[in-house]
Amino acid sequence: MRDTPKKAISLYLLLTLSLSAVVWTLIIWSGHLNMGFGLVIPAIMWCPALAALLTCRLLGREVRSLAWRWPDSRYMAAAYSVPLAYASVPYGAIWALKLAGWNSDFVALIAVGLGLNGLPAWASFTVCIIFMATGGVIQNLSMTLGEEIGWRGLLAPELLKYMSFTKASLVSGFVWAIWHSPLLLFADYNAGTNRWYAFVCSAITCISMSLILTWFRLKSDSLWPPALLHASHNLFVPIIFDNLTRNIGPTLWYTTVFGAALAISTSLFAFYFWVRRTEVQQRTGGTVSVQAAAFA
């Protein structure tokens, strides 16, 4: 099979659609994202990776073309911190504006669940957050790596071979958002608000994150920072901040990955990285060459 960027993109998207459709069908049939004791979640998240690996195989590429190299530690530290920053701002504003309450029941539940009898609730909560922020991110990384092997390991670099950084980020982000939509619109992957409202907010967040993730992919010349950023996002937003937030009525329209607050916050952060796009365009000249993308 002739290897060209457009051929690789078409093949990759076809394989991703075919593999994902199997899992989508099962989840939509059951109506629940957590069907099968939640084991379908890593399955769906590894469909993009499997599609990327199959694409490499069919096109005669080496797996190392997906930018496996370990990056400079500063990019890993920054990637870990960015989701904490763009989540802290909107959730802090929501609590300050009394659009949501503080979920003290969650703090108490953690204190009991941790099992450190005699330790104050705040101390148990702190210990648990430390465990989540370390071990929890590593656990999430085992799943988000599956997505990033596909989206930022293969798709974004192929798009960058004939698109600008901005266009490639927007296109890959749009594809990523559409990939989430079947479960959002036809299963229970949403917060319970209007599904189309949730889809728009989620799409904005995905596209904004795509720009940030693509920036890290190019700046570090590795898929590991995007994978870690994605894992950090999946920990801090749905597991920590959402659980610390008590719904008081309009709350769900602002919180979660399906609400407006995170969509706005990630858009602002994306704009910051977009302003810094010359840092990665200067390395690639607007496109990603074989050498620049570590495709050797």
Q: DSSP readout, 17-78?
A: HHHHHHHHHHHHHHT-TTTGGGTHHHHHHTHHHHHHHHHHHHHT--GGGGT-----HHHHHH
Smallest CA-to-CA distance from 288 within 142, 164, 202 is with 164
For residue 217, tell me if it sits in a domain: yes
pLDDT average, residue stretch 146-175: 97
- 188-234: per-residue pLDDT in tens? 999 999 999 999 999 999 999 999 999 999 999 999 999 999 999 99
Q: Does the pLDDT value for residue 159 go beyond 90?
A: yes
Smallest CA-to-CA distance from 189 within 22, 31, 30, 20 is with 31
Beta 245-246 vs 101-102: how paired, if at all? antiparallel
Percent above pLDDT 90 for the chain: 84
Q: Does the pLDDT value for residue 2 go beyond 90?
A: no
pLDDT average, residue stretch 149-171: 97
Mean pLDDT lowest among 114-128, 159-173, 253-267: 114-128
For residue 191, tell me if it sits in a domain: yes
Q: Does the pLDDT value for residue 69 go beyond 50?
A: yes
Looking at every residue in the chain, the average pLDDT score rounds to 92
For residue 184, tell me if it sits in a domain: yes
For residue 291, tell me if it sits in a domain: no
For residue 126, tell me if it sits in a domain: yes
What is the pLDDT, as a whole number, of residue 288? 39
Percent above pLDDT 70 for the chain: 95
0.85 exceeded by the pTM?
yes
| 55/194 Cα distance (integer angstroms) | 37
Contact residues for 187 (Cβ-Cβ < 8 A; gap 6+) = 27, 28, 30, 31, 32, 33
pLDDT category at 295 given cuts 50, 70, 90 is very low
Domain that holds residue 275: 5-284
pLDDT category at 282 given cuts 50, 70, 90 is low
For residue 74, tell me if it sits in a domain: yes
Taking CA atoms, 255 is separated from 101, 103, 211, 231, 262, in Å, by 12, 13, 21, 19, 7
For residue 293, tell me if it sits in a domain: no
Tell me the Cα Rg of the chain. 19
When divided into structural domains, the chain yields a total of 1
For residue 56, tell me if it sits in a domain: yes
Contact residues for 243 (Cβ-Cβ < 8 A; gap 6+) = 103, 106
